[in-house]
A = this chain, B = another copy of it.
Amino acid sequence: MQGDTTASDRPCDPRCFLNSAGGQDEGNTGHGAVDFPVAVVLPAAGCGERMGLTTPKQFCTFLNRPLISYTIESFEKISWIKTIVVVVAKESHELMLHIVKTFRHTKVKVVEGGTSRHRSIFNGLQVLTESTEGSSLPRPKVVIIHDAVRPFVEEDFLLKITLAAKEQGAVGAIRPLVSTVIATTSESYLDHSLERAKYRASEMPQGFLFDIIHQAYQLCSEFDFEFGTECLHLALQYSGTNAKLIEGPPTLWKVTYKRDLAAAESVIKETLSLSACLISGTMAETVELASKVQKNLAAHDMAVDVFSCAKEYKELLLSKTRNFIQITVGGGRLSDIAELIKLLEETNHALLYPVVIIWVHLYMSEEQSHRQKPDELTPIMDLAVKAKQGNILLYGIQVIHSKVPELWEKSAERLSELTAALIRDRNPAFTGQLLQA
């Protein structure tokens, strides 16, 4: 009953969508190969009634950001993609402009859609033919059409689509069929099953020479505007271009149902949990604890870089991670954490993904600990409330140093387990809490 691919549904390079805090990447694969203008059209005017939600699915939010912003980010960070036209319903226009502003998308043009998917795409293409005032934007050579609700499209695959579009005029992503496809009689009986090997599911993205798809839409009949399902079909029918089909990765999946939002969130959370920066301080015990945590978190698939001091600003800034662990002795100094928060805020490090800070309080003895007295607790809670407004999630964990090696080891394990859970979950409800390791 299943297509037989062994590919994973994770991004190939899981950090690919965390490249930067919001701008372009530094131009890696493909930049050299794509020496012509490429634009993207993202139809996002659908109402998403299938979700069982009132919000259209492209505007559903997880980790404080609407789905469509993740999709835009996937394109925006690719240096050779110059323009992203997002086509929205009239009633979502303001919302979309707000999203563009909030998440500082710089390549996006927002356009109002038509009464069907094809009319919306055509509106998007039309914008690319107009020379906007003050814009030196060239008419694109290749245009990529994608779905707003397939957030995990990757540069490698977009490069393949783009180059093939330039060569062939039209190109579409395909996937093996997930279910057997059957033909039904008018009385809902089985007529026959299709031979799986001959058929594929047509997916997004699709790429076109701009002139080919633009011409197809200009010639397109009213019927096709209203009921046509495939841009590939229009390119064939109206521009005589037979599309090349390229098998895409499972990461192209489409967020369709409410459960898919949970799946998308889990993919992002997993990716965000692959690395962390740990600021150890210089005391023997904190350095030792840092080393234990580093080792334990490796077993959770988290690569931890250890820095001796938060002042190594430059390295922290260069770091792609969204997770910071700071170990201090006793209550530590609130100002150290406040400084880290300030740094992260100044560099917009939490603009697109929530940043986790875990403040570890190491007490050198059970007696010394007087853990979590009210007068100690309030400042971390206050700081956490403030940080949360900037998408920074601050949690505290208390650890007691033991001279008994087994107990000390066990504390480090519990600390690591709590740390991994806090980073993995990114739950805003628990910020400002001081947990016990």
Contacts and interface: CB of A to CB of B under 8 A. Distances in A.
Interface of A: 1-2, 4-10, 49-52, 117, 147, 172, 174-175, 177-184, 188-190, 193-194, 196, 198-204, 229-230, 232-233, 236, 242-246, 250, 253-254, 256-260, 262-267, 366, 369, 371-374, 377, 381, 417-418, 420-421, 425, 427, 429-430, 432-436
A245 B366 contact: no
Number of copies: 2
Contacts of A174: 182, 184
A385 to B, nearest CB: 11
A201 B179 contact: yes
A396 to B, nearest CB: 10
Contacts of A204: 1
Contacts of A200: 181-182, 184
A108 to B, nearest CB: 22
Contact of A421 (B259, B264, B427): B427
B430 A421 contact: yes
Main secondary structure of the interface of A (DSSP, over half): mixed
A14 to B, nearest CB: 12
A181 B193 contact: no
Nearest to A188: B245
5 contacts: A7-B50, A7-B52, A9-B257, A260-B263, A262-B265
B201 A184 contact: no
A149 to B, nearest CB: 10
Given A174-B182, A262-B262, 6 more contacts: A1-B204, A1-B229, A8-B257, A181-B181, A182-B245, A433-B436
A242 B188 CA distance: 10
B182 A147 contact: no
Contacts of A260: 263
Given A1-B147, A427-B421, A427-B425, A182 B232 contact: yes
A418 B430 contact: yes
Nearest to A418: B429
A363 to B, nearest CB: 10
A251 to B, nearest CB: 9
Contacts of A427: 421, 425
A201 B183 CA distance: 9
Given A184-B174, A201-B181, A232-B182, A258 B50 contact: no
A2 B253 CA distance: 12
Contact of A258 (B8, B245, B265, B372): B8
Contact of A180 (B229, B417, B433, B434): B229
A210 to B, nearest CB: 19
